[in-house]
Amino acid sequence: MGVVNVTPDSFSDGGRFFSVQAAVDQGLRLLSEGADMLDIGGESTRPGAAPLSAQAEMDRVLPVIEALRQSTPCPISIDTQKAEVARAAVQMGATIWNDVSALRGSKEAAQIAAELGVPVVLMHMQGEPGTMQHAPHYEDVVAEVCAFLSERAGAAMDAGVARGAISLDPGIGFGKSLAHNLTLLAHLDQIMALGFPVLLGVSRKRFVQALDPSASDPTDRLGGSLAAALMGVKMGVDVIRVHDVRETVQAVRVWQAIQAARG
Ligand code: HH2
């Protein structure tokens, strides 16, 4: 899954793809580099990010989705916490709802997901983007993330979302310390054991800088992002959400070829 942030302030690439044309070009480039799907977001969820109105978010993402839809049949995911944005995006041609709030953005979110009938990604986050990194705390991070994801999958199914339409995501970097992130990455098998496809977002995230203090610029975190992505592939995750598609596809291809040569 290639990331297209139509935002002025994303932690990883804020402002680079803020115009419709730049975002569309970036999406098409990521597809040509080997992405199987695109994730379009209009609101940054970086730690400390300010919330955005639904209208402003739609003004950013809808023209991009519309233009991409005219250029490619690939799956397009809308990265939003707002049901009204998801609805408008699906009407415009998006085919997946990626919700970092796991359908907790409003009372009706789960029901609207069911009505839209598109696959949904339910991600774990402790707290809110504005404050989530202040003091993340867990007694047992893996057990708590698993319990949360299973509860949210249950809530989605209760509202009518088909079981086969649900994917889960541990939410690396969302209300988690370095130790929490590493523990989750080391135990992805327990999230997979919940019985749903798993999506993993490690690309350019701050935990890489925590291990390599020289990587304060997110674009300097490619090595760490690839290492974590390959760990995810090894554990069997289904989708990896990345900014650097070409490099990730190459890394996965080499890793898989070596695996195949083991016979
Ligand atoms: N990470 C980000 C945004 N959306 N969605 C899922 N399912 N999983 C993730 O790990 C995830 C996500 C943050 O990355 P980015 O989009 O580059 O930054 P920003 O939120 O600042 O736009």
What pLDDT was estimated at residue 13? 78
Q: Give pairs for 193-198: CB < 8 Å, separation 24+.
A: 194/146, 194/149, 194/150, 194/153, 194/168, 196/149, 196/153, 196/163, 196/166, 196/167, 196/168, 197/166, 197/167, 197/168, 197/238, 197/239, 198/167, 198/168, 198/169, 198/170, 198/236, 198/237, 198/238, 198/239
Task: Give 112's pLDDT tier (boundaries 50, 70, 90).
Answer: very high
Within a domain: 103: yes
Within a domain: 168: yes
Q: Which amino acid, residue 59?
A: D
How many domains does one find in the chain? 1
Q: Is 225 in the pocket of ligand 1 (CB under 6 A)?
A: no
Q: Is 187 in the pocket of ligand 1 (CB under 6 A)?
A: no
Cβ proximity of 132 and 173 under 8 Å: no
Task: Give 81's pLDDT tier (boundaries 50, 70, 90).
Answer: very high
Task: Give 218's pLDDT tier (boundaries 50, 70, 90).
Answer: very high
Within a domain: 140: yes
Rounded to the nearest angstrom, the distance between the alpha carbon of 99 and the centre of ligand 1 is 10
Q: Is 2 in the pocket of ligand 1 (CB under 6 A)?
A: no
Rounded to the nearest angstrom, the distance between the alpha carbon of 262 and the centre of ligand 1 is 35
Within a domain: 262: no
Q: Which of 205, 206, 221, 262 is catalytic?
A: 205
Within a domain: 95: yes
pLDDT above 90 covers what percent of the chain?
89
Q: Which of 152, 204, 206, 241 is catalytic?
A: 241
Please state, rounded to an integer, the average pLDDT across all residues of the chain.
96
What pLDDT was estimated at residue 240? 98
What pLDDT was estimated at residue 129? 84
Instruction: Report, as an integer, the average pLDDT of 244-250.
Output: 98
158: number of Cβ within 10 Å: 11
Instruction: Report, as an integer, the average pLDDT of 226-247.
Output: 98
Q: Is 5 in the pocket of ligand 1 (CB under 6 A)?
A: yes
What pLDDT was estimated at residue 69? 98
Lowest-confidence range among 5-14, 71-80, 166-175, 202-211?
A: 5-14
**pLDDT at 12 exceeding the cut of 90:** no
pTM of the model: 0.96
CATH of the domain at 130: 3.20.20.20
Residue 139: give the domain boundaries: 2-201+237-243
Within a domain: 214: no
Tens-place pLDDT, residues 84-102 = 999 999 999 999 999 999 9
Within a domain: 175: yes
Within a domain: 209: no
205 is catalytic: yes
Q: Is 79 in the pocket of ligand 1 (CB under 6 A)?
A: yes
Task: Give 16's pLDDT tier (boundaries 50, 70, 90).
Answer: confident
Q: For residue 129, which atom of ligand 1 is closest to its CA? A: 20
**pLDDT at 33 exceeding the cut of 90:** yes
241 is catalytic: yes
Ligand 1, atom 3, residue with closest C-alpha: 45
Lowest-confidence range among 41-50, 117-126, 163-172, 182-191?
A: 41-50
Q: Is 68 in the pocket of ligand 1 (CB under 6 A)?
A: no
